[in-house]
Amino acid sequence: MDQVLAFTDGKARDIWENICLVNVVNTGALKSVDWSQYNAVLVSSLEGKGVVSILMQEPFRLLPVIWLIHEDTLGQYLRSYAKLHDSIQNVIEDWRTHFNACAYVVFPDSYHPLLYSPLDSGNFLVISGSPVDIWSAKRFGSSHSDETTRKQHGIEKDDVVILVVGSYLFFDDLPWDYVTVMRASATQILDIAKTKNLRVQFVFFCGNGSDAYNSAFQELTSHMGLPDVSIKRFSVTHDIRNLLMFVDVVLYGSLRQEPVFPPLLLLSMSSEIPVVAPNLTVITKYVSDGVHGFLFDSADPSTISSAFIQILGEKKLLDTAYSVALEGKLLSKNMLAHDCIKAHVKLLESVIHFPSYAKLPSSVSKVQERTWLWDPFELKAALENSLLEDESHASTKAVDILREFSQSNQTTYADTNDTSSYDYPRLSDWYDLGEIEIFEDIERREMEEIDERVERPLLSWDEVYKNARKSERLKSEGNERDEGELERTGQPVCIYEIYSGEGAWPFLHHGSLYRGVTLSKGGRRPRSDDVDAVTRLSVLDNPYYRDLLCEFGAIFAIANRVDTVHKLPWIGFQSWRAAGRKVSLSERAEETLEEITSGESNEDVIYYWSPMDMDQTSDFWLTCDSLNAGNCRSLFEDAFRAMYGLPENVLALPPMPNDGDHWSTLHSWVMPTPSFLKFIMFSRIFVDSLHSLNVNSTETTSCFLGASEPERRHCYCRILEVLVNVWAYHSGRKMVYLNPFTGDTSEQHLLDKRNGMWVKFFNFTLLKSMDEDLAEEADDGMHPGNEQWLWPLTGQVFWPGIADREREEKYIKKLDKKLKNKVKLLERQKSGYKQKPLGQ
């Protein structure tokens, strides 16, 4: 699904809505966008820095980001401010961090990467041919007068102005190519103009604005054979659109071969100005001599004069020049469109990981588009005369971006969910923090050594007990027992919201009904009682297993010694993505759920509210196949067969009906806590069986359930997301859909209409015996491939033999203690002082 997120509403919105879905969001609401639903993000301006900031956080950090930058404002300020302020280094480092977070930073020409070179982290890319500059020049021309512009620069109405431009690749160097071209042609051009009663002025667009460059350029012009009065120079930081307003001819004075069509030449052609250029390969590929422009021999610059003979007429330009300029303008509008579109398509292909269910796009070679969509935008601009307004809006954006440079060197982003303020640390901050921690550690050790040497008076036992009790009262109970725990006291249900990273915080709920559980180590929300899943289940500290299990790992973490974290009769879960997909519980649905769980204690029911997205022709297993590279049912069947030791000739895929009812996704469900523990018992064995198939494959890094790299990394996630449906259906649980918006409930897959239930495989007694057998293997260390065995890592290992052994060890310790006490007593009686009986 293509979607455009715009920061402001514009007059071209209806045009965009005919192309794709358009949503207008203010910058403050960006944190409420579920970026995980996209396969890639294209940021189209510097104003999108806030978007990149969000995408630098988990769980969006691995989402491919392409940043398209057409503005040169920031680059110019980077060059100028860097020489004036030391504090600019912090701003540079902040922007560099944002640039580095992108897969590619794309520029429309080679000039922009040079401007932004202080921010280069190796991911800069140039794709020429963008229509942005052409459209911008058109807008500029519609809002400015050429007569006014000429007066501002001291140019007479009848003067012929020749603008000399060149390559951006050497914009800081002296333009020696200009000298070659001008020495070979300047005298002839002036002679032609003199015979035509024309006064010619040359405007050079090159270099920077420093005094040193000005002096060097003045020295250079002395070798061109031009009168001083006919020469003006503007640095490349000057707005080229302003110059194109009053020039009559553009001379491309660079003789070096370039990789792409010169952007300044393209912009000049789009402004309907006659261009004179060398017959370089990249130019002759598109421009025909005498049709779209005037070409001269790059090996013999003196041939420029023949081009000007076709341009300069009596006191004005010849009609030929105007007709060629018009043809050049028409050509320039779409000249590079096909190449530009293909380059962007190739770029997207290189970064996007298409999911299993996606319909793959056609090959790049089949791209047929050769024109830009000019007509609707030009018509809209002509009817509504909105060009000037757009220009002022662009200026406002530039001012907002550059405000950083006038403020203190801070980059702080306010959290719209009122959880915290973000001040993103830089690499230097981490170094400083490390040094501070080392210093504090040394200081603490020194103080401890000093304290050990100081003599203290002995305390009485009463004082010792008093200090101990005081210490216990002041001791922090940790993040898992605070106000949230007290709020949930007496409640029937708690829903654990699974998330990973700060980027998911805005999607989480507050209140006694919910409690967060994070998969990021130490990534809990401040001032919350969120559960750290990594602390509760050590296997999640391994990124490999954390990625394999995804959100199901958090469910395993809660189930591990569940009594230490959950003491309520009902338990539920919800992925943070439910809020992003707009299927989380409304207040009305929450009230319904609390009423139901308060008055019902049935073990055999599950309530769920995030339905599986299915079309009418697909059944459960077809949908699961589409999400798992077409291998869901085959892998499920193999795992189920291995789990129960079924022979090859026996069907091992539990049937799921196609009755039109809802199935659960996004781990969004509630069930009684005892039922939850039974589900976990089944799930641990199934996941272990599934993992054994993957480990025993010929490629240890392969994943048959994923087609793309992200899907292979999160191999079991999608099949585990729907596992609760198979368990609930075949274990005979009542399945009830809770409408997340209205709070209405409706039973799904009615029990009395279920056919072909595999109840025997989901029988609790059977599963418990299987669980105990696995626990005995783990306890004895006799399982084959013990190092890669997943089952013991996903929860508690317990079987009656462990209890017997612990009881026996406790009894032995007790006997040993009695024996030691008896020995001590005998030794005292044997060698110690014996008190005489009283009265003797």
> What does the DSSP assignment read for 46-59?
GGGHHHHHHHTSTT
Collapsed DSSP state (helix, strand, coil) of residue 735: strand
Pair of tokens at residue 266: 């393209």
Single out the residue of 469, 738, 714 nearest to residue 583, CA to CA: 738
Entry field: residues in the chain: 840
Single out the residue of 792, 569, 608, 595 nearest to residue 691, CA to CA: 792
Determine the angle formed by the axes of helices 673-695 and 632-644, rounding to 10 degrees.
Answer: 100
Pair of tokens at residue 64: 């491919």
pLDDT score recorded for residue 226: 74
Single out the residue of 633, 669, 675 nearest to residue 654, CA to CA: 633
Q: CA–CA separation, 640 vs 832, rounded Å?
A: 71
Pair of tokens at residue 62: 């691995």
- Maximum Cα–Cα distance for the chain, whole Å? 151
- In SS3 terms, 248-269 reads as CEEEECCCCCCCCCCHHHHHHH
Using alpha carbons, list the distances in angstroms from residue 804 to 22, 364, 810, 817, 818. 66, 68, 10, 20, 21
Residue given tokens 């641990």 in the structure block:
684
∠ CA 66-72-77 to the nearest 5 degrees?
115
Spans in the chain with pLDDT lower than 70: 1, 81-88, 170-171, 225, 228-229, 384-431, 455-456, 458, 471-485, 600-603, 614-618, 696-701, 783-787, 799, 802, 832-836, 839-840
| Count of CA atoms in the C-beta half-sphere (13 A) of 481 | 7
pLDDT score recorded for residue 625: 92
pLDDT score recorded for residue 480: 47
Find residue 231's DSSP bridge partners. 202
Find residue 629's DSSP bridge partners. none
What pLDDT, in 10s, does the model give residues 350-378?
A: 999 888 888 877 777 777 778 888 888 88
Q: CA–CA separation, 467 vs 19, rounded Å?
A: 72
Element of type H or E holding 43 = strand 41-43
Pair of tokens at residue 500: 């990973």
Contact 99, 229 (CB under 8 A): no
Q: CA–CA separation, 304 vs 308, rounded Å?
A: 7
